[in-house]
Chains A and B, each alone.
Chain A
Amino acid sequence: GQQVMQIPQYQHVQEGEDFTTYCNSSTTLSNIQWYKQRPGGHPVFLIQLVKSGEVKKQKRLTFQFGEAKKNSSLHITATQTTDVGTYFCAGKEDSSYKLIFGSGTRLLVRP
């Protein structure tokens, strides 16, 4: 079945440093979504990417969808302590309505 892998598992950065998490799917996706989950909270939708090679920006966050629609990345420029949390990608296949979540990357930011 479809698998979505995410690396790294953890990232500990100094405030102001950049951060990137990568997501790889075993199958071609119709779209990929990114979520942020704060400690003790529930996943909050960040963005959805649909087109091959798509790049979207939200302030300091840049999201990319690979040309083959099998991988994606989230890059945060100049991290802040408010960026702390776990970032999940979630992929959806054309043939399915289900979202398959990646394992998540936990971001810790040292002030």
Chain B
Amino acid sequence: GAVVSQHPSRVICKSGTSVKIECRSLDFQATTMFWYRQFPKQSLMLMATSNEGSKATYEQGVEKDKFLINHASLTLSTLTVTSAHPEDSSFYICSAWGGNYNEQFFGPGTRLTVL
């Protein structure tokens, strides 16, 4: 299957700072990338869907001004958590869909801890 990378894998930041997470499809062009959030011992909750070159579509209850998504190319999407607070601490996972594949490929996730 295809490979999706995420960077960084782990980040600790102070409350009020912004954190950028990158999601890259390494060997295929991702028409669509998805961003999920997973709190401890819970399921993956879809936050937003991003298509290359267009604005992201956010799920209900997800603040688009707080979670900025940019999908500037077919291999890169970024999620920026702005003015992070401790309640934003979570595991953020991206997935990518596209090319000749009929499934989503997940990145390894980014564990964000906001102090």
A: which residues have CB within 8 A of B? 33, 35, 41-45, 48, 88, 90, 97-104, 106
Contact = CB atoms under 8 A, between A and B. Distances in A.
Contacts of B104: 45, 99
A98 B106 contact: no
A101 B32 contact: no
A103 B34 CA distance: 18
Contact of A42 (B32, B42, B97, B109): B109
Contacts of B102: 48
B108 interface: yes
A97 B41 CA distance: 25
Given A42-B93, A97-B32, A97-B49, A102 B107 contact: no
A35 to B, nearest CB: 8
A35 B104 CA distance: 11
A33 B1 CA distance: 15
B46 A100 contact: yes
B107 A42 contact: yes
B43 interface: yes
A88 B43 contact: yes
Closest 5 CB pairs of A and B: A42-B109, A101-B44, A101-B43, A103-B43, A42-B108
A43 B46 contact: no
B49 A43 contact: no
A84 to B, nearest CB: 14
Given A42-B108, A48-B103, A104 B43 contact: yes
